[in-house]
């Protein structure tokens, strides 16, 4: 009798399903750990809320309303939101934002005294350090941290604000930045007007020479042609001289007008910035956003507790003992030849 090998055939067990309670049950079992992590996160959040000093915000909104007497001229920051464009300076609200944050403007403000007659500068109060120990880079960074600007695209209004624990200093910085920015732009406009006046003077001189040349031609023609026929070459020359004379007079008049306009822009009394919403007498406090910080701390605490429990293996399913049904029979012994399909 031929001897055959006997093998056992087993059906692989199905993977166990992950139940929902397997996710939150470890949090319930380890509630002390979860409570500790959340409490630590809440403590850090409360420290961030209560330890820093209370800050105040000096905020104002500016707009441009040109003066009725000089509506056709440009001046001050008021022209930035108007229709005037001089020499490449575009009248857009974003130019105001950039102007108020120029390095030269901010440094002049930073080096200004905190009060009239005081030797302490603004940057010393902002950073809490002596001026000798403040580098130019630190000065720019420190003054920019307390200043913020925002532009309303629909209305063109510019919101400018300063945030600092000292309400009086915040108010003073806002006023100084606005004054220095307005004066800087006035200087830019006057410099452009001065350049335009010089260019206009050169244009007037050129137009005057052309006009005098045409007038000399006319005088010579009238001297040499006292009488001439209507349709003769002399009549055609006279018409040509008249056209040149009219064009020269028009060019001279335009050049003189542009020069006078440049002089008026250079000497005009520039209108000031119109403050739509001034700084209130009592500054508003910057909200601490305590509820949001505590909510985020709770989420971080739960996340930290979950990571700790995952490292300990609390989310792994426990192996269940193998169960055999009472009526199940032992695995059947199958000859190897049958399994091989012989």
- The per-residue pLDDT for range 301-315, each reduced to its tens digit, is 888 888 888 887 776
pTM score, whole prediction: 0.58
Is residue 77 in some structural domain?
yes
CA distances, 33 to each of 24, 40, 161, 268 (Å)? 14, 11, 44, 74
Who's near 279: CB < 8 A, 6+ residues apart?
58, 59, 60, 171, 174, 175
Q: Do 35 and 91 lie in a common domain?
A: no
Is residue 18 in some structural domain?
no
Token pair recorded at residue 310:
């995952």
Q: Do 231 and 295 lie in a common domain?
A: no
Q: Do 36 and 141 lie in a common domain?
A: no
Is residue 97 in some structural domain?
yes
Torsion sign over Cα 333, 337, 340, 342? negative
Q: Do 258 and 214 lie in a common domain?
A: yes
pLDDT at 64: 62
Q: Do 144 and 278 lie in a common domain?
A: yes
- The per-residue pLDDT for range 1-51, each reduced to its tens digit, is 455 455 445 545 555 555 666 666 777 787 888 888 888 888 888 888 777
Q: How far apart are CA 246 and CA 257, in angstroms?
A: 17
Is residue 330 in some structural domain?
no
Q: Do 46 and 179 lie in a common domain?
A: no
Torsion sign over Cα 23, 25, 30, 33? positive
Q: Whole domain around residue 308: which residue ranges?
A: 24-53+288-313
Q: Do 191 and 42 lie in a common domain?
A: no
Domain count, the chain: 2
Q: Do 130 and 147 lie in a common domain?
A: yes
| Arithmetic mean of pLDDT over the chain | 76
Q: Do 242 and 278 lie in a common domain?
A: yes
Is residue 125 in some structural domain?
yes
CATH number at residue 123: 3.30.1890
Counting runs of H as helices and runs of E as strands, what totals does the chain give?
A: 10, 7
Question: Three-state SS across 8-48?
Answer: CCCCCCCCCCCCCHHHHHHHHHCHHHHHHHHHHHHHHHHHH
Q: Do 128 and 224 lie in a common domain?
A: yes
Q: Do 39 and 175 lie in a common domain?
A: no
- The per-residue pLDDT for range 41-87, each reduced to its tens digit, is 888 888 887 777 788 888 888 876 444 444 443 344 444 444 444 44
């Amino acid at each position: 009798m031929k001897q055959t090998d006997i093998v056992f055939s087993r059906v692989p067990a199905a993977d166990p399903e992950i139940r929902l309670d397997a996710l939150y049950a470890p949090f319930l079992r380890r509630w002390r750990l979860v409570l500790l992590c959340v409490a630590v996160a809440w403590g850090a959040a409360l420290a961030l809320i209560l330890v820093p000093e209370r800050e105040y915000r000096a905020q104002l909104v500016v707009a441009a309303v040109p003066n009725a007497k000089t509506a056709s001229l440009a001046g001050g920051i008021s022209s930035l939101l108007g229709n005037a464009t001089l020499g490449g300076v575009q009248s857009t609200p974003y130019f105001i934002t950039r102007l108020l944050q120029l390095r030269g403007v901010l440094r002049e403000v930073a080096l200004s005294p905190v009060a009239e007659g005081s030797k302490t500068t603004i940057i010393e109060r902002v950073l809490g350090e002596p001026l000798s120990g403040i580098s130019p880079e630190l000065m720019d960074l420190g003054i920019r941290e307390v200043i913020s600007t925002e532009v309303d695209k629909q209305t063109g209004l510019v919101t400018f604000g300063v945030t600092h624990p000292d309400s009086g200093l915040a108010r003073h910085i806002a006023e100084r930045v606005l004054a220095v920015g307005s004066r800087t732009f006035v200087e830019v406009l006057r410099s452009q007007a001065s350049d335009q006046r010089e260019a206009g003077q050169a244009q007037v001189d050129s137009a005057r020479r052309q006009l005098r040349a045409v007038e000399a031609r006319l005088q010579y023609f009238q001297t040499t042609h006292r009488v001439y026929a209507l349709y003769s070459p002399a009549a055609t020359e006279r018409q040509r001289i008249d056209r040149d004379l009219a064009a020269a007079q028009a060019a001279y008049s335009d050049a003189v007008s542009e020069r006078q306009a440049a002089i008026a822009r250079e000497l005009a009394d520039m209108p000031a910035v119109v403050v739509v919403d001034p700084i209130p007498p009592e500054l508003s406090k910057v909200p601490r956003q305590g509820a949001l910080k505590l909510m985020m701390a709770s989420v971080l605490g739960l996340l930290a507790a979950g990571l700790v429990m995952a490292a300990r293996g609390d989310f792994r399913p426990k192996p269940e003992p193998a169960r055999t049904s009472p009526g199940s029979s032992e695995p059947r012994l199958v000859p190897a030849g049958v399994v091989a399909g012989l």
